[in-house]
Structure 1
Amino acid sequence: YREIMDWAGAIDVKPDYRMRPGVLKQFCSNGEGVRDGYRRRFVETPGVVAGKKNMIGTSLVIQKLIPQVPAVIEELRQITKATWSIEGDEFDSPLALSRVMRQLACGFYLRWDWPDGKPDFEWLEARKNWNCDVRDILKRSRKGLDSPLLVYLAAKAGRINVPSWAPWAAVRDRPVPPTVPVWKDPFIVNAAIQWGQKDGGIIWYQHKALGERIAKKTRWPHYGAGTDADLARDPVIICSVKAQGTGKNLQHYSRNLLTTLPGSGQVFEQVAGRTHRPGQMADEVTIDWFGHTSELAASMGSIIEDAEFIQQTKGHVQKVLYATRI
């Protein structure tokens, strides 16, 4: 286990968390970096099948588009970041904040849709106070308390005293209400429609509310959960990254628009591979993506870091690394 943790620390995808390789260099051949050594030992392990993915002759161009952010969206973004809340709902972690910031980048956010319009104020208040306390604990970065789950387990076991735990424990198992989108400005809907009207292609979405709104406004074919885009031949289609981004053969399209970048390099590779794949007849496949907020722009950096990690440790050539990025 110790050796596994040492390797994990030495090859960590995030440079800020990467440990010095130290004695692990002893396992590397002359001229090998620690990731190179890890990859060689990994692929030489009996039972491991790891080959390089085939590159195709079609070029790949990845281009950032920057739609104009409306003032109402930018103002709400700044307030949300400053208060770590939206509509009075406190966030318990950077991940929860990031989730809402990505929604706002699309022009909306999700709020609770209470049955019969009657909010459970006791549940809301307890949840708000608990999330606030969890966030304060995470800020202190105490060992063993560096995630909302670990804080929850410690409070439940009585290992830490959190004033808001008892009220939250009393109501946390109540049914969570569904959510509905609150649209502040449809600027990304409009930008995606303009993109599709120009030369056609696939409009990829991660937020169901966004995909449904584009489809409702245009009546373009919409492929979400429970559908299959393989047979689509319409000039423009709207596809869920989650439902259609893996295992689909969409090489009859060569233009892609990512309304929101995926959160990992692995997912990006899968989406890119739907059109940039054997059987693609176009000379060039394009992947446009909206990078109009700092969060979205940073996502591309994370995707590249993930891709470098995968390519260097497993030998799989990653599309984002050999593509032309504009």
Structure 2
Amino acid sequence: MPPYDGELPTWRVGSWPSWEEIHKRVVHVTESVWLSDFIVNDAAKWATRRGQPGIVWVEFPELGERIAKAAGVPFYRGGKEASATIMRETGKRSIVASLRANGTGKNLTMFSRMLFVNPPADGATWEQAIGRIHRQGQADDECEVELYQHTDELIDAFRKARDFARFIE
């Protein structure tokens, strides 16, 4: 263990030398566990409102896939193919999109509605995502942004994003 010079306490851990040799090769395996289909069904219902297409933004690919399947609409994750295909959308149907992969750099003015299933806790992320539809070229007079706020975590995420945006301003 390298020497440490600082105010924080330190301790020698016997297992560290062995772990240090391999820790970068360890692949963490995650598994989605569904407790409820409420969000999937509600977001799918939002996406299939007649005459009101929009973008359903998600953070987690597994959730995006489930919502898209339930709504019968495409899910755009990351990658060159998805990036090119999302730009060919006409705005006549809703889509589900990865916020991380599609929340910046794309002109999505064919839509004027969006739903954040996992509201980001960062003001800059909100600004970028909303800027996909609220920009020059938008044909509608108004853009609509909705988000889920039914848990403390979702409320806190939005509060943090708003506080961060105020700080930036």
Smaller-chain TM-score range?
Answer: 0.7 to 0.9
Verify the 8 A CA contact 2:107 2:133 in the aligned structure 1: yes
Quick one: distance in 2 between partners of 1:271 and 1:236?
16
Where does structure 1 differ by over 4 angstroms across 4 or more consecutive aligned residues?
A: none
TM-score, structure 2 normalization: 0.83
Deviations 1:36-79 (A, max 9, x none): xxxxxxxxxxxxxxxxxxxxxxxxxxxxxxxxxxxxxxxxxxxx
1:191 counterpart residue number: 42
Structure 2 equivalent of residue 241 of structure 1: 99
TM-score, length-normalised on structure 1? 0.45
The residue number in structure 2 matching 1:294 is 152
Higher helix share goes to which structure?
1
Alignment partner, residue 268 of structure 1: 126
CA RMSD of aligned residues (A): 1.7
Q: Which one-letter code corresponds to 2:56 in the other structure?
A: I
Q: Distance in 2 between matches of 1:215 and 1:197?
A: 10
Query: Where does the alignment leave 5 or more consecutive residues of structure 2 unmatched?
Result: 5-9
Equivalence for 1:284: 142
Tell me: higher relative CO, structure 1 or 2? Use CA pairs within 8 A at least 6 residues apart: 1
Task: Tell me: CA distance 1:169–1:288, structure 2 relative to 1, closer, same or farther (3 Å).
Answer: farther
Residue aligned with 1:166, SS:
coil
Residue of structure 1 in register with 2:2 after alignment = 157
Q: Compute the displacement of 1:168 (Å).
A: 5.1
**Pair 1:191–1:181, CA change in 2 (3 A):** same
Matched, 1:167 2:15: yes
Aligned length: 154
Gap change, CA 1:168 and 1:188, over 3 Å in 2: farther
Within the alignment, does 1:205 sit opposite 2:58 as a pair? yes
Farther off after superposition, 174-183 or 195-204: 174-183
Computing the radius of gyration from Cα coordinates, the structure with the larger value is: 1
Paired position in structure 2 for 1:146: none
Residue aligning to 1:230:
87
The CA deviation at 1:175 is 1.7
Structure 1 residues 181 and 169: CA distance shift in structure 2, 3 A? farther
Identify the residue that residue 33 of structure 2 maps to in structure 1: 182
Deviation at 1:169, TM superposition (A): 4.7
Instruction: Report Cα offsets for 1:112-163 as digits up to 9, x if no partner.
Output: xxxxxxxxxxxxxxxxxxxxxxxxxxxxxxxxxxxxxxxxxxxx4365115x
